[in-house]
């Protein structure tokens, strides 16, 4: 197995590293303090092909694949995790439109996403009272001639308020559970569709997260993504890929925190005569765990690139990398001492930013359930 990046993947990573250094890193502390939507930065990522990394060039994407995607996410997240999650969700929605949409939908939505005309696309599955158990969602889409009428409330929508298109799941058949759910592409400004104000949250302040309210919102039947009843499948397959992206995001945050701690330790070792063996051990543990996470992430990304199943590997990667990144940020704080929590170093931001990676794209408790189910299924197949 070749663990290096090929020329196309390396080109994508290098573009991300350049934009991370020039645009995202200088603004990260400001967004963390003041909030707001990094729409210009996201458009700049789009203009360089980073909002459709795994989208076919025929639709304006880079066509560079999933390994290239995680390499880019890692670079961007090390600079600003909040801006990066907007980029990640946009890539996820673009891939869903490419895979499940028809040519009219691809033409209408993929081109403005991949050209950076729109800052983002949004993915709206969760609802107040329906997150981990997504199949219990209550938003309805009722057929009315050549339209559907959407009614309900969606929660925690990343890039809500400035996305160019929203992938929204709603129940088209109340008699069925997951098979009664369909997906729709809803455009901002559609009457009956409103975005509530952003939620206040612990970290990732460069990523507004909003509620959406649908009240008699009529959308053309042609805006349905895929056939009726496959919306849950669309959402779940998107989340498998999404979990690989969250792994890379967590690794990026961990890499930035560990680098900060390493610089601090190296500086102290030059100037202060003290026993720092403990802190060197902490640094070693950070380096080992970051590399272990990257291997899990690369394996899941390579499986997706090869078109192979990745449910188990994506869940393992997401669970390990996000827990690991939390541990690394904690260790970085210990190495820095009081400086770590003072705001003099970005590590306190990294620690707040990393927490939510254990929640979205399926909480880590749910990932354990997914992994156990897949392990038991594999055993039953062998028996
Ligand atoms: C910043 C942020 C951005 C987000 N962006 C999006 C987005 O763009 N689009 C979108 O659709 N959603 C988004 N989400 C929603 C996110 O996916 C959900 O919050 C997540 O799936 C958890 O669902 P919940 O909030 O309903 O928590 P719940 O499902 O109520 O879970 C609460 C707690 O119970 C635990 N739990 C639940 N079920 C089980 C179980 N069976 N066994 C053991 N423990 C269990 C969970 O692990 C969790 O700790 C976002 C969330 C956040 C915080």
The string of pLDDT tens digits covering residues 269-278 is 887 777 788 9
The mean pLDDT of 245-274, rounded to a whole number, is 92
Is the separation of the CB atoms in 296 and 320 below 8 Å?
Answer: yes
Question: Mutate which of 81, 89, 92, 131 to test ligand 1's pocket (most atoms within 8 Å of Cβ)?
Answer: 131
Is 361 known to be catalytic?
yes
Would you state the pLDDT for residue 4? 87
Residue 261 CA to ligand 1 center (angstroms) comes to 31
CB distance 131 to ligand 1 below 6 Å: yes
Residue 365 CA to ligand 1 center (angstroms) comes to 10
- HSE-CB of 371 using CA atoms within 13 angstroms: 16
Fold of the domain spanning 233-382: Butyryl-CoA Dehydrogenase, subunit A; domain 3 (1.20.140)
CB distance 139 to ligand 1 below 6 Å: no
Is the separation of the CB atoms in 259 and 252 below 8 Å?
Answer: no
Q: Which of 199, 273, 361, 365 is catalytic?
A: 361
CB distance 356 to ligand 1 below 6 Å: yes
Nearest CA residue ID for atom 48, ligand 1:
363
CB distance 363 to ligand 1 below 6 Å: yes
Q: Considering only CA atoms, which of 250, 266, 257 is closest in space to residue 331?
A: 257
pLDDT digits (tens, 9 = 90+) for 40-89: 999 999 999 999 999 999 999 999 999 999 999 999 999 999 999 999 99
Per-residue pLDDT at 114 exceeds 90: yes
CB distance 211 to ligand 1 below 6 Å: no
Would you state the pLDDT for residue 308? 97
Would you state the pLDDT for residue 276? 85
Domain boundaries, the chain: 7-119, 123-231, 233-382
Per-residue pLDDT at 378 exceeds 90: yes
CB distance 149 to ligand 1 below 6 Å: no
| Mean pLDDT (the chain, rounded) | 96
Would you state the pLDDT for residue 369? 98
Would you state the pLDDT for residue 169? 98
CB distance 89 to ligand 1 below 6 Å: yes
Percent residues over pLDDT 90 in the chain = 93
Would you state the pLDDT for residue 305? 97
Of 89-98, 136-145, 302-311, 342-351, least confident by mean pLDDT is 342-351
Would you state the pLDDT for residue 338? 84
**2 band by pLDDT with thresholds 50, 70 and 90:** low
CB distance 367 to ligand 1 below 6 Å: no
The yes or no reply on domain 123-231 and CATH 3.90.1150.10 is no
Nearest CA residue ID for atom 12, ligand 1:
126
Of 270-284, 315-329, 347-361, least confident by mean pLDDT is 270-284
Would you state the pLDDT for residue 180? 98
The mean pLDDT of 326-352, rounded to a whole number, is 91
Would you state the pLDDT for residue 32? 96
Ligand 1, atom nearest to 133 Cα: 29
**310 band by pLDDT with thresholds 50, 70 and 90:** very high
Per-residue pLDDT at 381 exceeds 90: yes
Superfamily of chain region 7-119: Acyl-CoA dehydrogenase/oxidase, N-terminal domain (1.10.540.10)
Per-residue pLDDT at 95 exceeds 80: yes
Question: Mutate which of 159, 322, 359 to test ligand 1's pocket (most atoms within 8 Å of Cβ)?
Answer: 359
- 19 versus 269: the higher-pLDDT residue is 19
Question: Mutate which of 85, 91, 126, 166 to test ligand 1's pocket (most atoms within 8 Å of Cβ)?
Answer: 126
Would you state the pLDDT for residue 72? 98
Count of CB atoms situated within 10 Å of the CB of 21: 13
Q: Taking the model in full, what pTM does it have?
A: 0.97
Would you state the pLDDT for residue 1? 59
């Amino acid at each position: 197995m070749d663990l290096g990046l090929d020329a196309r993947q390396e080109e994508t990573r290098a573009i991300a590293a350049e934009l991370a250094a020039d645009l995202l890193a200088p603004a990260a502390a400001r967004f963390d303090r003041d909030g707001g939507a990094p729409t210009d930065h996201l458009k700049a990522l789009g203009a360089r092909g980073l909002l459709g990394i795994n989208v076919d060039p025929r639709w304006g994407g880079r066509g560079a694949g999933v390994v290239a995607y995680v390499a880019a996410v890692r670079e961007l997240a090390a600079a600003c995790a909040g801006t990066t999650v907007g980029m990640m969700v946009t890539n996820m929605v673009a891939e869903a439109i490419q895979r499940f949409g028809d040519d009219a939908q691809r033409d209408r939505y993929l081109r403005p996403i991949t050209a950076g005309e729109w800052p983002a696309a949004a993915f709206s599955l969760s609802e107040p009272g329906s997150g981990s158990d997504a199949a219990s969602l209550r938003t309805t889409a009722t057929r009315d001639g050549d339209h559907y009428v959407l009614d309900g409330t969606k929660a925690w929508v990343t890039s809500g308020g400035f996305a160019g298109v929203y992938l929204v799941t709603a129940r088209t058949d109340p008699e069925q559970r997951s098979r009664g759910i369909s997906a729709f592409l809803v455009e901002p400004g559609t009457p009956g569709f409103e975005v509530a104000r952003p939620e206040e949250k612990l970290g990732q302040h460069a990523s507004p997260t909003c509620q959406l309210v649908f009240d008699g919102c009529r959308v053309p039947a042609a805006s349905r993504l895929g056939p009726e009843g496959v919306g849950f499948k669309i959402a779940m397959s998107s989340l498998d890929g999404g979990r690989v992206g969250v792994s890379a995001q967590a690794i990026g945050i961990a890499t930035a925190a560990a680098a900060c701690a390493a610089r601090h330790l190296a500086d102290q070792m030059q100037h202060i005569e003290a026993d720092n063996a403990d802190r060197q051990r902490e640094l070693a543990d950070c380096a080992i765990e970051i590399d272990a996470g990257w291997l899990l992430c690369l394996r899941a990304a390579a499986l997706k690139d090869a078109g192979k199943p990745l449910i188990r590997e994506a869940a393992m990667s997401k669970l390990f990398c996000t827990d690991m990144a939390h541990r690394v940020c904690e260790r970085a704080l210990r190495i820095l001492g009081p400086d770590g929590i003072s705001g003099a170093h970005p590590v306190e931001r990294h620690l707040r930013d990393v927490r939510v990676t254990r929640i979205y794209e399926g909480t880590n408790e749910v990932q354990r359930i997914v992994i156990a189910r897949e392990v038991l299924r594999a055993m039953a197949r062998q028996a």
